[in-house]
Structures are given as structure tokens and as C-alpha cells.
Structure 1
Amino acid sequence: MTIKSQRCLWLICLLLMISAGIMSLDCNLLHHQQSKFNWTGLQLVKRMGGKFRLECLEDKTSFQFPEKVLKPKFPQQAMMAVHEILQQLFGIFSRNLSQTGWDRRIVERFLNGLALQIERLETCLPTKRGTNIWKLKQYFQRIQDFLREKKYSTCAWQIVHEEVLRCFQYTEKLTKKMKN
């Protein structure tokens, strides 16, 4: 092996070690980023929904958030739950918003923020998924079924809007449990 080849190999090794260190730092600070996103996302959701209309009270329903999800045993479980919540919210807000009358720019800012935070979380996620993720999927399926059943009406979106505000409270609880 020539001296040039050895130097190049050492530089590559050094670069890999530095980038691995930077990536682990990012994961260590992820709960701070998530907490900031929770606040920003909550503000955007509040702005996009407007005031709750009283005639929508008759459509009020309980989607039954799986409370067990809020009691993770490990920080990685909290991170997986937050990731799943954000992915599901992205799916819900990516379709059939035409009847809401919501400001499209605010919705797009919210979706862009969700996509960025989902990507950040994915870099730090463990590969194994838990059963609590399945319970979250069922919870969000109930929300999607409700919207579909109500034909994505304005009142259905108002009910879901209120539920999404609660989701951000759940996400904030989980974010606090993401710390190592």
C-alpha cells in the first residue's frame, strides 16, 4: 500500500468517525428539536382550525387514544411513538381538506414541519417496532374512518382538529420521555 493510499484511507476513517459523532449528537438533542416542533406545530394547528362551531357538538366522538403509549419503558419507545403520531398526522392532513376552509399556506407549513421532523426522527429510530405502535395505528384509523364516514365535512374536520390538539399534548409528554 502506498503512502498516498494510506493517507486517503486515514482521511476516510477520520471522516466516518466525525460524521458518526455528529449523528449521535443530533440524536442526543432530538428531544429538544421535538419539543420546539411540538410548540410550533401546535401553534399552526390552532391557527388553521379557527373557532369550534357549536353545531358540530352533535358529531363529537371519543377516538380513545391508547394511554399505554404514554408510559414507555425506554426513550426509544417514546421516540417510536412520537414518530408514528407525526406520520399519521401527516397522512391525515395530506388529503381531503377542501371543505375545511383552512388557510392552505398554514396547512403546507404544518406539513413541511411534520415532514422535516419525521425525517429527523427516522435517523435515530431503532429498527424494532413495538405493539404500542399498532395501537397508535388503530387509533388513527378510527380518526380516518370518522372523517370518511362523515364525508370529510366541516364539522368532522372540527372534531378531528380538536383531537389533533390533544395529540400534541400527548406528543409533548412522550418527548419529555425521549431524554436519555
Structure 2
Amino acid sequence: MSQRCLWLICLLLMSSGRMLSLDCNQFHQLQREYNWTAQHLLQRMGGKSPVECLEDKTAFRFPEKVLKPKLPQHAMMAVHEILQQHFGIFSRDLSQTGWESRGVQRFLNGLALQIERLETCLPTKRWTNILKLKRYFQRIQDYLKKKKYSKCAWEIVRKETEVCFQYVDKLTMRMKN
């Protein structure tokens, strides 16, 4: 195992202990660390997109309105939904991807920890923009199905997920009170 990979695991473990002991108002600080770690794990999971995958590119159209929540709780709900949806997508059979299973598992474990912590902080009232996020992720799932979960389709989705974690980072900044 490379030294960089061990460092990412250590960061994830150290952050998870601190994260579980924080109150919800300080959650955004460690969420930013998780966002960074998730992006690096995603980058390491895949390689460069093969040239033949260029024709498979599509615009999933992330709902930009979600990035401007009126309340910090809305940002938290959006991040929770995004993490849950990614967990569902990456929990599928990824055998066609050629990705290292340990990298995928680390990514999923990090998502599970984030989701668990966020669930203790979520307000009970729902936010209407969650439906926009659900439609966005439905487009991604429909795309994978249409492309028969091909290696190229998974690479396109992996790259989209990297971009999505940049959005999660913007939302995380809006979690501050």
C-alpha cells in the first residue's frame, strides 16, 4: 500500500473520531476535510478517461439553485442527500470498471461515516430543493442503465462525482451559522 494511501486512511480515521464528538454547528469544518479526501479517493479510483469514452460524455445538469440555500440547515440537507445518492450509486456492482475494490470501499466507508453524522444533525422539516437533487441523480442512474453500466459510463459518472464534491464543498461553506 502506498504511503499516500495510508495517509488518506489515517486522515479519515482521525477525522471520524473528531467528527463524532462535534456538535452540529461545527460540522462544516470536518466536512470540508471529508470532501477533500473523497475527491482524492475518486481521482485514485479511476484513471484517465479513455479517448473512446469522449463520445459518452453527457451533461447531467446539477441543479444550481441547490447551491444557494437560504438556511444552513438546507445546505446540510442537500449535502446529506448528495452523499446518500452517491453511496447508492457506488454500492452497485462495479466489476466492469476495473477500479481497485479497496479504493471504492474506502470511498464508501467515508460516505457512510459522513451520512451517519449528518443524520444526527438534520432538521425534521423537508426542503423542496431536495426533489431537484433526486431528479439530478435519477438522470445519472438512467444514464448508467442506458449505457449498460459500461466502463466508459462509470468513468463519466466518476468524473461527474468529482465535480459534485466541489458542489458539496460550496454547500459545506454555507453550513456555517
Structure 1 residue 96: Cα displacement: 2.4
Give runs of aligned pairs for residues 55-74 of structure 1, distance below 5 A: 55-74=52-71
Identity of aligned residues (%): 73
Amino acid at match of 1:32: Q
Give the TM-score of the pair, scaled to structure 1. Answer: 0.85
Give runs of aligned pairs for residues 48-59 of structure 1, distance below 5 A: 48-59=45-56
Alignment counterpart, residue 136 of structure 1, candidates 130, 133, 137: 133
Structure 1 residue 24: Cα displacement: 9.3
Please identify the structure whose Cα radius of gyration is greater. Answer: 1
Could you list the per-position Cα deviations for residues 45-66 of structure 1 after superposition, in whole angstroms to 9, with x for gaps in the alignment? Answer: 0000111111101011000100
Q: Quote the Cα distance in structure 1 between the aligned partners of 2:110 and 2:145.
A: 25
Structure 1 residue ranges without an equivalent (≥5): 1-22
Give runs of aligned pairs for residues 73-112 of structure 1, distance below 5 A: 73-112=70-109
Alignment counterpart, residue 162 of structure 1, candidates 156, 159, 175: 159
Structure 2 residue ranges without an equivalent (≥5): 1-19
Q: Quote the Cα distance in structure 1 between the aligned partners of 2:158 and 2:21.
A: 35
Q: Count how many residue pairs are aligned between Structure 1 and Structure 2.
A: 158
- Residue 33 (1) aligns with residue 14 (2): no
Could you list the per-position Cα deviations for residues 101-140 of structure 1 after superposition, in whole angstroms to 9, with x for gaps in the alignment? Answer: 0000010011000000000000000011111111000000
* Root mean square deviation, CA, Å: 1.2
Structure 1 residue 33: Cα displacement: 1.4
Could you list the per-position Cα deviations for residues 55-112 of structure 1 after superposition, in whole angstroms to 9, with x for gaps in the alignment? Answer: 1010110001000000000000000000000000000000021100000001001100
Structure 1 residue 29: Cα displacement: 1.6
4+ residue stretches of structure 1 with deviation over 2 A? none
Q: Quote the Cα distance in structure 1 between the aligned partners of 2:54 and 2:21.
A: 47
Give the TM-score of the pair, scaled to structure 2. Answer: 0.87
